[in-house]
Amino acid sequence: MQRIAIVGGGQSGLQLALGLLQRGYKVTVVTDRSGEDIAAGRVMSSQCMFHTALEYERELGLNFWEQDGPYVEGMSVSIAGPDGSRPVHWAARLEKPAQAIDQRVKYPGWMKELERRGGALVLETCTRARLESLAAEHDLVVVATGKGDLKDLFKKDPERSPHGQPMRALALTYVKKMTPRPEFTAVNFNIIPGVGEYFVFPSLTTTGACEIMVFEGIPGGPMDCWGDVKTPAEHLAKSRWILDTFVPWEGARCREVELTDDLGVLRGRFAPVVREPIARLPSGATILGMADAVCLNDPITGQGSNNASKAAHAYLHAILERAEGSLTDEDWMRATFERAWEGEGVGAATVWTNALLLPPPPHVLELFGAANSLNGIASRFTNAFNDPRDFGSWFLDPAGAKGFIAEQRGAAAG
């Protein structure tokens, strides 16, 4: 049986490891933080995952918190006017619900499960030198270290990386006591032209149910405003100021909010980048990158954990199908990455996410406006978050958008 080393115990690394263990592989996961440290640490993500990505977890028996956490049943889109008005505002249901389990809950639970399934969990910060020894002792080394330094071993792919710098100033605020939205739970996605985006949805954190606020400020704009924030209380106050100033209907839901915990806040920025999936170590050994380590997206579309689950699924099946062949053959390694990129739609999610970081073109504004009265558009937009390959033919294509709007108008006219 092949021996697999996975560096990085996050969404993709743990999911792949647990899938391989279920099939009897010998798996070592090298990761830099213990479950206890993660559980007691700072939030890392907002991690909303849609149906396909959740199904891949369910297939491996990893949906331990599904019954405890709230489902996300739909999506609402609003565009803010300059005067606090809301010229675009609509909502649609997801065909199958999404869910967001705080990684501070999920990763420690999955690490325990890894050991229960017989995996070796090594707590250490993996270095380049350590990668050499792992490569010597295993048939395959997968690097799944997310935004950690080891990503720099993988060369940037300029054709797949259109943005050379951070496109948003990011912040997360985990809160409780937010007024629930009416009708159904949802990702409320708010676009503030020229300023940024704000989205919010329910989740399960270490202290129970919560709502996660995600702020995406255009660099240099009024929502790129976190520089002087030092304390958790200041972070919450700044979050509320943004809502009251730019999206008052969201501010109105937050009169009573409190932080879930002092570490339920995060601020930062990073450039989205796609890298070559294979790196060669000084010894000549090859290693394979997975998920954020080689395909890092801005969170604006909430696709990163989804992509990580889809990549882990693709890599798992590529490895299972390769029981006899070499796992360091470069053609196989590249095909494995492409299986996620093409076969699972990670590439389409990346292209769409990168497009959303630019000012919306006229056909997108027309689509959002038309969805005010045409539920078919609202519904298609909402459900394409599960599989962003659907966006290519209409959302990203002006002619396709025109045709789709005309078709929906025709259907509505009867």
Which residues bind to ligand FAD, rule: CB under 6 A?
A: 7-13, 30-33, 45-49, 125-126, 144-146, 148, 150, 170, 172, 214, 266, 291-293, 299, 302-306, 308
Task: Considering the complex, state which of residue 78 and residue 309 has its C-beta at the smaller distance from ligand FAD.
Answer: 309
Q: Kindly list the distances between the CA atom of residue 298 and the CA atoms of 269, 319, 365, in Å, as whole numbers in the listed order.
A: 9, 29, 21
Residue 217 CB contacts under 8 Å (≥ 6 apart), including other chains: 168, 169, 170, 171, 195, 196, 223, 224, 225, 226
* C-beta of 153 vs 401, nearer to ligand FAD: 153
Nearest residue to ligand FAD on Cβ basis: 10
Cβ atoms of 111 and 35 within 8 Å: the answer is yes
Question: Nearest distance from residue 47's CB to ligand FAD, in Å?
Answer: 5
> What are the Cα distances from residue 376, in Å, to 89, 367, 408?
15, 11, 7
Q: How far is the CB of 52 from ligand FAD (least distance, A)?
A: 11
**In this complex, which beta carbon is closest to ligand FAD, that of residue 187 or of residue 243?**
187
Return the number of the residue (153 or 374) whose C-beta is nearest ligand FAD: 153
Task: Tell me whether residue 272 or residue 363 sits nearer to ligand FAD (CB atom).
Answer: 272
**Which of 174, 178, 184 is CA-nearest to residue 97?**
184
Helices 103-116 and 11-22 cross at an angle (nearest 10°) of 30
Question: Is 12 or 379 the residue whose CB approaches ligand FAD more closely?
Answer: 12
* Nearest distance in Å: CB 344, ligand FAD: 13
Min dist CB 360 to ligand FAD, Å, is 20
We find the least distance from the C-beta atom of residue 106 to ligand FAD, in angstroms, to be: 9
- 46, 78 Cβ separation under 8 angstroms: no
CB of 16 or CB of 247, closer to ligand FAD: 16
Token couple for 399: 């002619």
Among residues 128 and 255, whose Cβ is nearest to ligand FAD? Answer: 128
Closest contact distance (angstroms) between CB of 214 and ligand FAD is 6
Q: How far is the CB of 410 from ligand FAD (least distance, A)?
A: 35
* Closer to ligand FAD by Cβ: residue 146 or 368: 146
The Cα-based distances of 244 to 84, 241, 256, 266, 371 in angstroms read 9, 5, 13, 20, 25
Minimum CB–partner distance for residue 152 and ligand FAD (Å): 11
Residue 324 C-beta: closest distance to ligand FAD, Å: 28
